[in-house]
């Protein structure tokens, strides 16, 4: 698992796949408790106890829904000073950004300004090489495009030491797409599903082309302002700041003299942009997911797209090889379906940037939502076991 955002699996997504496999072992004959019951505060506190440790310095968890609300933190907000974790502080949400991007494009589809079955070549004539197979906007959003991955096209060796030295490096969306398109396509469009960050760079570029406004402008006007998400933003690519962090992001590194320690990477470039560059807070993400699942952001036809998982094989998506739909696609238009056993289903998205592993997901009817954010010291992100404990406690699921 890597925190790379240019086509490799994100740490949060891969860990959730492992989490759901583990959940399946304990839920094959058991349904979660009714979500009208209050969150299990004792189980939730226990799920994030014992921080900081060598792997995680902090955790923020928020559970909300019909049965009530629970919010908690654990660990330290800054290993250098020992300050507390802020339950309403900011963190980098990584690929949760994709849900905002998909929502904007679905709104544009509802306004008949974007045709989901229209092609990338139609909206962005110069983005793909001449003669490339037609790729639709829908295929971007549900990861069935077959576009190349970014493997080998970016100067990152995957080590924490490299990232510490290059945290402020950035690339434009156009440069990201150009580099990635130098690699061969993975499969013919529409024939399989492979989670791939380049899809959402192109989706963001379609938004800008169609509207004539920046991606950030459209997210702000269509989602952030209407929902009052005052602590969520699309930062400029040159803005490395995090003004009110829930916790500082730190990575375990080996220094040139051979000693080890923690390097602060809270300040880093948000260049993943429409694919993974946004900043938010647990309360804001909870409000966003609740509004989305309750149909407050999309008309019925586009709302249905959120839960439309294409019936195609998955291609190198280990996290889709779970439960009763093992071997088939698990991403819809912007969300991911978690179905560890018959009758048990959650929808949401994970995200990872160096120093942050986060997730937001919930029941399809919005009766219970979960948001969490960890600060892992490894670029591999928070372990599946850490995430499993929180998810099982939030949704009253047995783990053994």
399 in a domain, yes or no? no
372 φ/ψ angles, rounded to the nearest 5 degrees: -140, 155
Which H helix or E strand runs over 386? Answer: helix 384-394
Give the 3-state secondary structure of residue 337. Answer: strand
Q: Token digits for 1? A: 């698992």
Whether the CB-CB separation of 35 and 384 falls below 8 Å is answered with no
400 in a domain, yes or no? no
Cβ count near 179 (within 10 Å): 17
Per-residue buried b or exposed e for 109-122, using 16+ beta carbons within 10 Å of the residue's own CB: bbeeebebebbbbe
pLDDT in tens, the chain (400 residues): 233 434 333 334 444 444 544 444 444 444 555 557 999 999 999 999 999 999 999 999 999 999 999 999 999 999 999 999 999 999 999 999 999 999 999 999 999 999 999 999 999 999 999 999 999 999 999 999 999 999 888 999 999 999 999 999 999 999 999 999 999 999 999 999 999 999 999 999 999 999 999 999 999 999 999 999 999 999 999 999 999 999 999 999 999 999 999 999 999 999 999 999 999 999 999 999 999 999 999 999 999 999 999 999 999 877 777 667 678 999 999 999 987 667 778 999 999 999 999 999 899 998 999 999 999 999 999 998 999 899 999 998 866 5
144 in a domain, yes or no? yes
Specify the number of domains making up the chain: 1
What is the 8-class DSSP label of residue 94? G
What sign does the dihedral 243-240-12-349 (CA atoms) show?
Answer: positive
pTM for the model: 0.93
119 in a domain, yes or no? yes
Determine how β-strand 344-353 pairs with β-strand 279-281: unpaired
DSSP secondary structure string for all residues of 215-247: HHHHHIIIIIHHHT-TT-B---TT----SSBSS
65 in a domain, yes or no? yes
3 in a domain, yes or no? no
129 in a domain, yes or no? yes
> What is the residue range of 366's domain?
11-394
Q: What is the dihedral of CA 357, 363, 365, 367, to 10 degrees?
A: -90
6 in a domain, yes or no? no
Domain CATH for 167: 3.40.710.10
Give the 3-state secondary structure of residue 227. Answer: helix
Whether the CB-CB separation of 79 and 341 falls below 8 Å is answered with no
End-to-end CA distance of the chain: 24
Per-residue buried b or exposed e for 73-88, using 16+ beta carbons within 10 Å of the residue's own CB: bbbbbbbeeeeebbee
């Amino acid at each position: 698992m890597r925190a790379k955002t240019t086509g490799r699996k994100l740490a949060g997504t891969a860990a959730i796949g492992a989490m759901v496999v583990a959940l399946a072992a304990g839920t094959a004959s058991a349904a979660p408790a009714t979500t009208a019951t209050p969150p299990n505060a004792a189980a939730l506190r226990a799920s994030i106890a014992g921080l900081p440790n060598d792997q995680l310095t902090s955790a923020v968890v928020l559970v909300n829904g019909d049965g009530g609300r629970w919010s908690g933190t654990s660990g330290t907000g800054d290993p250098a000073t020992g300050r507390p974790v802020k339950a309403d502080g900011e963190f980098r949400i990584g690929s949760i950004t994709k849900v905002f991007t998909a929502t904007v494009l679905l709104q544009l589809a509802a306004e008949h300004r974007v045709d989901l079955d229209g092609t990338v070549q139609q909206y962005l004539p110069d983005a793909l090489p001449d003669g490339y197979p037609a790729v639709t906007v829908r295929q971007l959003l549900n990861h069935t495009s077959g576009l190349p991955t970014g493997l080998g096209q970016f100067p990152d060796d995957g080590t924490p030491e490299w990232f510490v030295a290059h945290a402020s490096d950035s690339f434009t969306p156009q440069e990201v797409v150009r580099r990635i398109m130098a690699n061969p396509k993975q499969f013919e469009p529409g024939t399989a599903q492979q989670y791939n960050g380049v899809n959402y760079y192109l989706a963001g570029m379609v938004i800008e082309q169609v509207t004539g406004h920046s991606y950030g402008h459209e997210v702000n006007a269509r989602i952030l302002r209407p929902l009052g998400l005052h602590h969520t933003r699309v930062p400029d690519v040159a803005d490395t700041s995090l003004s009110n962090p829930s916790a500082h992001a730190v990575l375990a590194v080996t220094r040139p003299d051979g000693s080890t320690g923690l390097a602060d990477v809270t300040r880093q470039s948000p260049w993943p942009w429409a694919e993974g560059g946004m900043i938010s807070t647990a309360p804001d993400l909870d409000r966003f997911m609740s509004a989305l699942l309750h149909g407050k952001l999309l008309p019925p036809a586009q709302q249905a797209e959120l839960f439309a998982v294409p019936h195609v094989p998955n291609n190198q998506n280990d996290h889709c090889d779970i439960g009763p739909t093992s071997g088939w696609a698990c991403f819809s238009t912007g969300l991911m379906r978690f179905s560890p056993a018959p009758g048990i289903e959650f929808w949401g998205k994970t995200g990872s940037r160096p120093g942050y592993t986060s997730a937001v997901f919930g029941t399809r009817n919005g009766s219970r939502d979960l948001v969490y954010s960890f600060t892992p010291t490894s670029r591999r992100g928070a372990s599946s076991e850490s995430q499993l404990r929180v998810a099982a406690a939030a949704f009253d699921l047995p783990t053994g």
